[in-house]
């Protein structure tokens, strides 16, 4: 194949956003994706965007549909059984807002603009292997339609998720991983119904629940469930009944029910791989880390990785300035661990764990009461929730 400056492994939002941003700076890239395009575009993922993510998408020309179909809000509500709900008021405490807009729509926009700009995106590839990552000229071997191909490049961006080949291409004696698996999952549905006006987390003795949104006529709801839960045992009627039980009655009464158009179970996991670089390979997004969705940080972390990696590649390729590439892993990881900490704290606070005892339950209740009563605690949470500024 014709060589490229940056080979990007993975055609999800991280890989496609990096390809688009590199194109804006005149840097060539090729995106290699294992799945078919229809599969990528139908994946249901996150939908809560930090202020910095919204700003970046607008800055790179991807804000029109987001502004038209998305929804700005001042933060997210937390409801607690027997307590008054309170708002994580990001607008009040930070002057910044959050945004609801589905990752699926973002991915659709990225594929649209890359097609318009003549971007090279090769999907349905097999037998992907990364070679000579610690040399001057790395290359990617893969199969497409039964034929072997070789793609030479200057740099490799590993954006292929937690099950991709990129992270596993780093020598095991150099790679260190940190993981926390959770003893429950989220049973989620999507319905073409008007959502609640604001995103709302709910703690209940029966388990956690979440009301989210994608657009004015598309709702996303979740309930905490056992990892062994069978979707066949959860028809829509049972889900709606259980969801409403976990919200305060006045809020439950505002939930508009309807047929589900998607239903799935997602396990929760905290995971970090260090370092996020090896030779001329640089990891971004889920290839390097995962967070439980409680903190709404997964997609936002992928965007921040891309921000740092794009800046570093542009400086190196256009100006022979390698300072940002040398610091890419440590810079990205600072934000990753901030997000991991917040996601862990919210997950521990809002969920019912199988080994919870009376002491733990009272500690969690006191933590909620402290958040509700303390403007300083609310401000600290809001600052983390809305997203820290990108490092200069």
Catalytic residue among 293, 308, 328, 351: 293
* Triad 75, 76, 79: Cα angle to 5°: 150
For residues 263 and 240, the answer to whether their CB atoms sit within 8 Å is: no
Catalytic residue among 201, 222, 308, 328: 201
42 counts as catalytic? no
73 counts as catalytic? yes
CA dist., res. 123 & res. 70, Å (int): 29
For residues 101 and 70, the answer to whether their CB atoms sit within 8 Å is: yes
297 counts as catalytic? yes
Catalytic residue among 51, 111, 155, 385: 385
Catalytic residue among 297, 310, 328, 351: 297
293 counts as catalytic? yes
CA dist., res. 1 & res. 149, Å (int): 7
For residues 37 and 187, the answer to whether their CB atoms sit within 8 Å is: no
For residues 47 and 103, the answer to whether their CB atoms sit within 8 Å is: yes
CA dist., res. 138 & res. 167, Å (int): 15
Pairing outcome for strands 29-32 and 120-122: parallel
324 counts as catalytic? no
CA dist., res. 246 & res. 208, Å (int): 7
131: left (phi over 0), alpha (psi -120 to 50) or beta: beta
Write b or e for each residue in 124-144: b if 16 or more Cβ atoms lie within 10 A of its Cβ, otherwise e. Answer: ebeebebeebeeeebbbebee
Catalytic residue among 13, 51, 71, 73: 73
Q: Would you name the residues annotated as active-site residues?
A: 73, 201, 293, 297, 385
């Amino acid at each position: 194949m014709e060589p490229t400056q940056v080979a990007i492994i993975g055609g999800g939002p991280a890989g496609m956003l990096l390809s688009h941003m590199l194109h804006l700076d005149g840097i060539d890239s090729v995106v290699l994706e294992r799945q078919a395009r229809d599969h990528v575009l139908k994946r249901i993922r996150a939908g809560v965007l930090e202020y910095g993510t919204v700003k970046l998408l607008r800055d790179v020309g991807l804000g029109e549909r987001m502004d038209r179909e998305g929804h700005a809000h001042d933060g997210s509500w937390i409801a607690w059984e027997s307590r008054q709900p309170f708002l994580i008021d990001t607008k009040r405490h930070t002057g910044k807002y959050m945004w609801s807009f589905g990752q699926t729509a973002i991915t659709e926009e990225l594929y649209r603009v890359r097609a318009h700009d003549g971007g090279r995106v090769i999907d349905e590839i097999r037998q992907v292997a990364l070679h000579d990552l610690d040399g001057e000229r790395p290359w990617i071997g893969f199969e497409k339609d039964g034929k072997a191909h070789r793609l030479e490049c200057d740099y490799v961006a590993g954006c292929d998720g937690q099950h991709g080949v990129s992270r596993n291409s780093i020598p095991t004696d150099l790679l260190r991983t940190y993981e926390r698996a959770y003893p429950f999952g989220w049973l989620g549905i999507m319905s073409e119904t008007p959502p609640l006006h604001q995103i709302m987390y709910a703690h209940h003795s029966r388990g956690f629940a979440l009301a989210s949104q994608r657009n004015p006529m598309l709702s996303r709801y979740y309930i905490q469930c056992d990892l062994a839960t069978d979707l066949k045992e959860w028809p829509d009627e049972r889900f709606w009944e259980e969801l409403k039980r976990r919200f305060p009655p006045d809020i439950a009464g505002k939930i508009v029910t309807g047929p589900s158009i998607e239903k799935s179970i997602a396990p929760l996991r905290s995971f970090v791989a260090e370092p996020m670089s090896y030779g001329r390979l640089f990891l971004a997004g889920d290839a390097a880390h995962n967070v439980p969705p409680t903190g709404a940080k997964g997609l936002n972390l992928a965007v921040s990785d891309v921000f740092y990696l794009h800046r570093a590649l542009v400086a190196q390729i256009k100006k022979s300035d390698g300072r940002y590439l040398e610091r890419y892993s440590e810079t990205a990881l600072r934000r990753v661990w901030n997000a991991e900490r917040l996601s862990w704290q919210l997950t521990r606070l809002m969920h019912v764990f199988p080994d919870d005892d009376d002491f733990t339950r009272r500690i969690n209740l006191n933590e909620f009461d402290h958040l509700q009563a303390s403007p300083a605690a609310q401000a600290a949470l809001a600052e983390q929730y809305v997203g820290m500024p990108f490092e200069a």
